[in-house]
Amino acid sequence: MFEDFFYERLVKLRMNKGVSQREMSLSMGQSEGYITKIESKVSLPSMTAFFYICEYLGIHPKDFFNDQIQYPEIIRIINDNLMKMDKEQLIHIDAVIKDIVK
């Protein structure tokens, strides 16, 4: 079910970031049990709160729903840097990536 995906994805992304439920809640300006309530399926965040969650996690909202991306925050940072490169640099990076993943 979609709701289960949402809860499980939030847990995974928060744990990848290495923060506790309490720490994330307080960093977002919420009560200390806010993320606990969401992850324990007591409540769902509002759309605005969802955007704040994504911002806190350092990801785009669309990446939240793509469970094929295991570390979206790192992918976003890499992508931001790739956007600054010229064609020759990108070709070199592509060659390095191909060498690593083979």
**pLDDT tens-digit series, residues 35-81:** 999 999 999 999 999 999 999 999 999 999 998 998 999 999 999 99
pTM above 0.85, yes or no: no
Domain count, the chain: 1
Place of tokens 């079910």: 1
- Which domain range does residue 43 map to? 2-101
Query: Using an 8 Å Cβ cutoff, are 21 and 39 in contact?
Result: yes
Q: What is the pLDDT of residues 9-41, one digit of tens each?
A: 999 999 999 999 999 999 999 999 999 999 999
- Write the CATH number for 12: 1.10.260.40
Residue type, 3: E
Give me the pLDDT at residue 97, please: 95
- Does residue 1 register a pLDDT over 70? no
